[in-house]
Structure formats: C-alpha cells, structure tokens
Amino acid sequence: MKLAVVGVTGLVGREMLEVLAERKIVVDKFIPVASSKSVGSLVNYMGKEYPIMSMSQAIEEAPDFALFSAGGSVSSEYAPLFVEKGTTVIDNSSAWRMKPSVKLIVPEVNGHELTKGDKLIANPNCSTIQLVVALNPLHKKYGIKRLVISTYQSFTGTGAKAMKQYSKESQGDFSSDYPKAYQYPIFENCIPHCDVFLDNNYTKEEMKLVHETRKIMDAPELAITATAVRVPVCGGHSESVNIEFNNAFDIDELRTLLSTEKGIILQDDINVNHYPMPRFVRKKDEVFIGRIRRDDSIENALNIWIVADNLRKGAATNAIQILQKIQSL
C-alpha cells in the first residue's frame, strides 16, 4: 500500500502519524506531503525518515490512500486530482462534508455505507464525531426528537496559531507582537465564538453540528440547536447534551446500552466523582460519557456529558478507522 498524509506537519497530521504507528498500519511506501516551505525536510514515521514531498510530486506517485488535513481550500483544489489518479481520499476539512455525493463517515455509526468504490470520503467535524458516537445507539433504541447542545471546545481545535496564543498569554504576554487566532484572550477565558458568524446569528461550528449530525444519522428532520464555546483547555472537547426522545426509556437500561457500545467508555458514578474530563482523555481513541440523568422538566428527556480527544477521535483516529474499514471490505 502507498499512503500519503497531506498536511503532515500540522497538529492533526502529526497525530495521524502517531495513530498509524500505534495501529501498525502496514505501508509499503509512505508519502508525507506539506506546503512548499516544508518540502525536502524530513519527517519520522515508525523509526524511518522520509523527505516531505510537494503536492504535485505526491499526485504523480498515485498513492492508494491519501489522508488530507490541510484545510478546505487545499482539499477543494487537490483532492479531485488525487482521485483522478485512482487514490481514495479521506478528507478532514469541511470542503466536502455536505456534498450530497460524498459520504460523511463515522465508522461506529454509518461505516456500513462504505464501499471499495468510494474515492472521496469526508471526515466529520471533531465535535460532531463524538456527539454521534454517543447518540446513535440511543436514537436507534428510543428515537431522538430534539437535541440541545452546548460545547466546551479546546483551543487546539483552532490549530498551531491558537496554541501559540495560549502559550504566550499564559506567560503574561498579551501584546500584539505575534499573530493571534482569537480576537480576545483565550487564557483564563471562554469565547462563545467558534468559527465565523452566519446570517442566522449562529456560528459555522454550531451549524456543522446541526447539518452533519442529520446527515450521518440519516435524520434530516431531527430538531437540533447548539452553542459552541472555545475554552482554555489544551486538548479535548466536552459537550453537554440535552436529549428529548420520542419514546419512554429506563435509565438503567440506557446506561447498559451505552456501556456495551463499541468506541464508548462509560464513566458515570457520582458516588466516587467519576465522570469524563478532557484532561484525562488525551491520546485516547474512545468517546467518554457520564453525568447521565433524567431531565425532569420534560417528558422522555435526558442530560449527558460527552468528552473526547478532538485531535484523536475527533480527527486523526476517525480518518484512520475509515481507512481500515475500507481495507477490510
């Protein structure tokens, strides 16, 4: 197998290398790809050094698979060129997610939709991935009527510039001498502004949760509203989700259902203060769920708390699980 990783020097690209190595993905030819300023420099994969290639060089190599994590504009331009060479592209950007002809995949939820013939597959938004992993078994069992989502998203989701801003601010440097990811300080602050504002006064991140969740779960009429907040946490997204079901549920049965689902780890024992926290899910590939409790203010409703590593299951791990799923077909 010839495998390209496009955007290999970025946060998600580097995480992809770790996950590939951990899962012992056998690669006959590894093709690291990054921007022109990185071409020729070396990247280490499983103990061996590889020179970074340009996009045109990588396309000519005609890899079997290309994992893209280089932003929407890069994916829009170059992913089709890889596909023309017969490459299966798994793209982590938002460029292709809502295209009707492109599958938006979370393997635990809709991996059955994949076929050997799929050549362009979209990886969902990080906050969407952990959400649908948690919701899908509940939707199949009880039928979800409405979702109210509040996210608490790590600044790592904004990339290296955000990490530098946080680091500088944590050292007391709030000057304008370096490029910033956010208009306001992220250190010791919460910013209710993830991505750009849209005409409906929601942010793009909030509407991704709406549209992507409906597409992945094949629930186009599902009522969803969301508020996305950037928080000063170095890795890991958290979500408080209020779920209204169509049908009655037994809370113990519901907990058992979640505890037996692949890709989910239940941490839900308030007697010993056991619940998911982003600090403790770093470098983990699962979705963690806790604080499960009935919402007594409305019939057939529930509150849950969902946490996952946004660079892992929210990006790199999910993309590589897609790769592995296709390989197994």
State the catalytic residues. 126, 237
Helices (H) and strands (E) in the chain, counts: 9, 14
SS3 70: coil
Contact at 8 Å (CB) between 232 and 254?
Answer: no
SS3 59: helix
SS3 of the chain: helix, strand, coil, percent, to 5: 35, 25, 40
Tell me how far apart the alpha carbons of residues 251 and 254 are, in angstroms, rounded to a whole number.
Answer: 5
Return the HEC string of 225-261: EEEEEEECCCCCEEEEEEEEECCCCCHHHHHHHHHCC
Contact at 8 Å (CB) between 181 and 155?
Answer: yes
Contact at 8 Å (CB) between 151 and 127?
Answer: yes
CB atoms within 10 A of CB 204: 14
